[in-house]
Amino acid sequence: AYLNTPLYSPEGEKSIPAGAVALSGNLVSRDSSGIHLQASTYRNLRGKELEGSPTTLFIPLHKIDHVQFAD
């Protein structure tokens, strides 16, 4: 999933890295308001991988620029 704006990460939060705009992982579910993604990889605007833990996130559709699916 490629995001319009970086994920918000509270100070001290280690599972979600600050500045993440591209997320890779497994789609858990989707509905009319967004997707649940088991995120395992996080990248910044320059494509650099950021440190973070696998986390299930709900991402509202208005925050998503586009999603690329792979088998």
Closest by CA position to 22, among listed 41, 8, 35: 41
pLDDT more than 90, % of the chain: 77
Check pLDDT > 90 for residue 12.
Answer: no
pTM across the whole model: 0.87
Q: What is the per-residue pLDDT across 27-38, written as a single tens digit (0 to 9) for each? A: 999 999 999 999
Check pLDDT > 80 for residue 11.
Answer: no
Measured CA angle at 29 (ends 61, 55), to 5 deg: 85
